[in-house]
Amino acid sequence: MGKPTGFLEHDRQTIPDRKPLDRIKDWKEIHEPFDEKKISEQGARCMDCGTPYCHTGMTLSNMASGCPINNLIPEWNDLVYKGKWRDALDRLHKTNNFPEFTGRVCPAPCEGSCVLGVIEPPVTIKSIECSIIDKGFAEGWVTPQPPSERSGKKVAVVGSGPAGLAAADQLNKAGHLVTVYERADRIGGLLLYGIPNMKLDKEIVQRRVDLMAAEGVEFIVSTEIGKDVPAKKLVDDYDSVILCCGATNPRDLPIEGRNLKGVHFAMEFLTINTQGLLELKDVTNFETAAKNKDVVVIGGGDTGTDCVGTSVRHGCKSVTQLEIMPRPPEERAMDNPWPEWPKVYKLDYGQEEAKEVFGEDPRKYLTMTKRFIGDGDGNLKGLVICDIEWQQNDGRYSPVEVPGSEQEIPAQAAFLAMGFLGPEDTIAEELGLSRDSRSNVQAEYGKFATNIDGVFSAGDMRRGQSLVVWAINEGRAAARECDRYLMGETSLP
C-alpha cells in the first residue's frame, strides 16, 4: 500500500447519510456526496496486510466471510489513495459487473473480515467501491462495449435480477446472442421491486440495463416463462437456457386471523410502493398503504427494515418490528470470532428513521406473534404477541413462550418479512428439473448444470435466499459454464 501508516492516521468514515427527519420527506437515496479527499484518506487505511481476507469469499458458520466475487479490494483501495481512479474502476470491473448495486445494498462481508477490523474499525470498503463506480459514470468512463465478434449461439436467461443480469452480461461479452425474459413490466427483478428507491435509486438500475442493451443484450418484459411462453419452447428455440428466477416463494405465518385485510407479504407492499413511484414520479399521488396506521413488521432482516423505512415515509401512526431472535451484542461474542461476519447490534437506516420520529428503536426482540385480531368487519385491528426464550431439546433450539407474557398491540397493517422458502414450481415442474430437500433447483455449485441438457440454474433459485453479491457470483460462474458447454472451452473468468 502507498500509505503504510494510513490506518494509524485516519479514523474510519463512511459515505454520510442525510439527516433522518429530512430524508423521510422524499424517496431519494439516503446518502450525501462523499468528499474525494476523504475517500482517498479511507483508501489509505488499507494496511498492506499479509493475507487480505477481505476478498477471500469463504463461507464460515453458514455466512459469507470476505467478498463472494473476490473483488481486488486492496488494489483499488491503493489506486484510490494514489488518485488513479480510472485504474481503480478497471480493477473493480474485472470481478464485479455491477458495483453500483453492491456498493449500495451489499452488507459488506468484506468489511467483516478486514484484518484491520481485528483491532480497529475496518476499512470502509463499500463506500470506496460505490465512490469508484459513481465517479466512473460521472466522468463518462463507463460506455457500451459490445463484443467485436458474435458466436451465433443463442442463450435465453430467465429472470432479470442480479444473477440473471450478471449471466447475461458475461455471455454477451463472450459474443453470444442473449435474450433476457422478465415477467414484471421492467427489468431488474429484486434490484427493482425488492429494494426501495431510497436504498437503490431505480434510475441507477435502468442506467445499467440501458448500457447492456446498447451492448447487444435483448430484454423482453411482461412475459412469464411457464405461462405466457412454455419453458420447453425456450429449450427448443435456444442453444442454452439459464434459469435465474430467484427464491420468490415467501414464508407465510399461518395463524389465526391471517386472512384479515391488512395482513400482507412484505414484498407485496414494497413492490406496489415502487411501482407507484415509478409510474407517477410523485409519492403524494399513489396509495400510501401505511398512512396514519399502526404498522407491525414481522421479521428482523433487510426486507423488514425496508418495510419500516417505507412505512415511516408513508406517515404511519406507529411502527413496531418483531424479531424472534435475541438482541445482538454490542461487540463480537466469543463464539463469533473474526473473520466471521460480525453478528453485532446495529441501527440500520429504517430503524434510525423510526427512532427519530417515534423516540425509540422499533424492534422488539425475542417476540412471537400468536394471532391476528380483527375488528368484526374483516379488517386487521391488532396482534397478540408474547415473549419467547430459546430452549434446547434433542440438540435443537426452539422458541418457547414465556408464561404470562402475552399482550395485545394495535395494528391496522402487518407486513410479513420472514424470508423465502425457495423458487416457485411452474418452470421446474414443466421441465422436470431435479430439486433438493429445500425445493431449490438441483445444480452443483461450480457446474450449475441441471438434469436437463443445456439448462443451467444460478442465484437464489439454485442456492436459496441469499445476498445480491452471491447472486452475481453465481450468475458469472454459470455464464462461464454455459460458454464452455456451447463452445467446448471458455475464456470467461
User: 441, 459 in Cβ contact below 8 A?
Assistant: no
User: 483, 492 in Cβ contact below 8 A?
Assistant: yes
Cα angle 471-118-326, degrees, rounded to a multiple of 5 = 65
Q: What is the pLDDT of residues 410-448, one digit of tens each?
A: 999 999 999 999 999 999 999 999 999 999 999 999 999
- In the prediction, which pLDDT does 283 show? 55
Task: Name the residue among 86, 126, 11, 29 with its Cα closest to residue 469.
Answer: 126
Per the prediction, the chain carries an average pLDDT of 95
- Give rounded-to-5 percent helix, strand, coil for the chain: 35, 20, 45
Checking if the pLDDT of 285 tops 80, the result is: no
> Using 50, 70 and 90 to split pLDDT, how confident is the model at 284?
low
For the chain, which domains are there? Answer: 6-138 (1.10.1060.10), 154-249+421-487 (3.50.50.60), 252-418 (3.50.50.60)
Residues 464-482 have a mean pLDDT of 97
> Using 50, 70 and 90 to split pLDDT, how confident is the model at 395?
confident
Question: In the structure grid, which three cell numbers stand for residue 231, read together?
Answer: 419453458
Percent of the chain with pLDDT over 90: 91
Prediction pTM value: 0.95
Q: What type of residue is 131?
A: S
Question: In the structure grid, which three cell numbers stand for residue 371, read together?
Answer: 394471532
- In the prediction, which pLDDT does 198 show? 96
Beta bridge partner(s), residue 261 = 379
* Burial class of residue 305, CB neighbours in 10 A (0-12, 13-18, 19+): buried
> Using 50, 70 and 90 to split pLDDT, how confident is the model at 88?
very high
Angle between the N-to-C axes of helices 302-314 and 266-280, in degrees from 0 to 180, rounded to the nearest 10: 50
Question: In the structure grid, which three cell numbers stand for residue 275, read together?
Answer: 411501482
State how far Cα 272 lies from the chain centre.
Answer: 18
- In the prediction, which pLDDT does 478 show? 98
> Using 50, 70 and 90 to split pLDDT, how confident is the model at 3?
confident
Q: What is the pLDDT of residues 20-62, one digit of tens each?
A: 999 999 999 999 988 899 999 999 999 888 889 998 888 899 8
Q: Strand locations in 300-441, DSSP E?
A: 318-322, 363-364, 367-374, 380-393, 396-401, 407-410, 413-416, 420-422
Q: What is the pLDDT of residues 204-245, one digit of tens each?
A: 999 999 999 999 999 999 999 999 999 999 999 999 999 999
> Using 50, 70 and 90 to split pLDDT, how confident is the model at 252?
very high
Angle between the N-to-C axes of helices 125-138 and 85-95, in degrees from 0 to 180, rounded to the nearest 10: 110
413 phi and psi angles, rounded to 5 deg = -145, 130
Percent of the chain with pLDDT over 70: 98
> Using 50, 70 and 90 to split pLDDT, how confident is the model at 4?
confident
Q: What type of residue is 326?
A: P
Q: What is the SS3 assignment for 373?
A: strand
Count of Cβ atoms closer than 10 Å to residue 236 Cβ? 9
Give per-residue burial for 376-407: e unless 16+ CB within 10 Å, then b: eeeebbbbbbbbbeeeeeeeeeebeeeeeeee
Residues 468-489 have a mean pLDDT of 98
- Cβ partners under 8 Å of residue 104, min gap 6: 29, 130, 199, 200, 204
Task: Name the residue among 220, 245, 219 with its Cα closest to residue 429.
Answer: 245
Question: In the structure grid, which three cell numbers stand for residue 355, read together?
Answer: 427512532
Count of Cβ atoms closer than 10 Å to residue 85 Cβ? 20
Residues 257-271 have a mean pLDDT of 96
